[in-house]
Structure formats: C-alpha cells, structure tokens
Amino acid sequence: MKNLILSVQHLLAMYAGAILVPIIVGTSLKFTPEQIAYLVTVDIFMCGVATFLQANKVTGTGLPIVLGCTFTAVAPMILIGQTKGIDVLYGSLFLSGILVIIIAPFFSHLVKFFPPVVTGSVVTIIGINLMPVAMNYLAGGQGAKDYGDVKNILLGLMTLIIILVLQRFTTGFIKSIAILIGLVLGTIGAGLLGMVDINQVNHAGWLGIPVPFRFSGFSFDVTSTLVFFIVAIVSLIESTGVYHAFK
C-alpha cells in the first residue's frame, strides 16, 4: 500500500508538467479544445510507454522514474509548427527521435567520463531552469485570466509551506509523501476558494484512444530535424544528470 501511495505521488508530481507542454503547443498552433485534449491524451499515453521502457533494465536504466515532457522543445515546436506546418513538425520529431535511438547506446558510454562535479552542476542547473516554470504555475498558469492574482500566489505558497513543514518536522512514511499531502490539501483549499472547475471534466470522454496521423501525415525537413536533434541532445544531458542524482 505504501508503494502504491508513493507511486500516486510520483505520478501527480509529473502530471502537471507533462500536460502543460501539449496545452501550450496546441494553444499556440490555434488548435481547438478537442484537438488539445487529444494531444494531452497522446502525451500521457507516450509518457506511460516511455516510463515502462525506462524502468526496464534491458531498454532503459532500470530506475523507477516517471518520464514526462521536456520544456526545452516547446519553443522549437511552436516555431516550426507555425512557420512550416504540423506535418513538418511531426516528421522532424520522428526523424530526430530515430537519430537519438541510434546514438543513445554510444552516449551512455560517455557517462563514465563525467565527474561528480559535472553531473552535480547539471542537476543544479536543471533545478534553476525549472524555477521560472514553478513561478508561472504559482501565478496561475499559462493563459489564466486571473494570472498573478494574489489568491493564486497565496494558495501556492500555502501548499509549499505545508510540504516544507512535513519534510522538516516529520519522519518516515509521512515525510516521504509530503508532496502528495501538499497537493491534496492545496486542491481542497482551491475548491473551498471556488478555484476548481470540473465542468469540462464532466463533459469529457472517459477514454481517449491515440490514433496515428489523426491531424496530418509526415513531411520531412532537414533543418527542422537538426533543430530537434540538438534539443534531444540537450535533453539527454539533462536526463543523465537526473539519473545520476537518483542513483
């Protein structure tokens, strides 16, 4: 039961960041709400597939890490999608993904050349780079009508304080699920303040099925592929730091 609760905490901590990427990209590319909801469905499905592959020692590191989406690719996806079309965006991501799969085995051998000071610095940089994302959430999230409202900031700070207090003054299992407790109490607080709207959830389908090529087919562009390949290399470096920190 404890492992199940810890798994839920890990999933919820990842979920918000994972769904924000397709929402930002879909909104920027003028997708309809239904299309954005489908992007989120595909996003969560592929996060699950990637997590299973990563948790297996044959296909991944064997570490129990839930994989989400990288914000590094958001700006290039929006730019290429707006200028060259969604078909080029899909094709370039597909080709760059194949290139990354090819170099991944060789890249893993380079890890032994990274001293602790290097991997430690990468982990620190990852945390610093995530601070603007956290501040954006704290203010209400991308595109929120009440962005920067004092109510949003106070609720976020309250949640943060709950987590910090539990981390500092409790021990054992309660300390390990501090984030989950903070999420639950923060959500209850948001509900009491009238900040939780479940109307769209009530009208949404119970199950979303990913369908290949739903929006368009593939078109290939060398420049766009190279851009995403470089983004993938950056993500590989960041991931290496995370895996070392986890070990």
* Selection from 30, 39, 5 nearest residue 184 by Cα: 5
Q: Which two tokens stand for residue 217?
A: 């087919």
Compute the distance between CA of residue 43 and CA of residue 67 in angstroms, rounded to an integer: 11
Position with higher pLDDT, 4 vs 16? 4
pLDDT of 161 above 90: yes
Compute the distance between CA of residue 87 and CA of residue 80 in angstroms, rounded to an integer: 10
Whether the model clears a pTM of 0.75, i.e. scores above it, the answer is no
Task: Determine the 3-state secondary structure of 247 from DSSP.
Answer: coil
pLDDT in tens, 112-125: 666 667 666 766 77
pLDDT band, very low/low/confident/very high, at 164 (cuts 50, 70, 90): very high
Q: How many CB atoms lie within 10 A of CB 102?
A: 10
pLDDT in tens, 56-86: 888 777 777 778 787 778 888 888 888 888 8
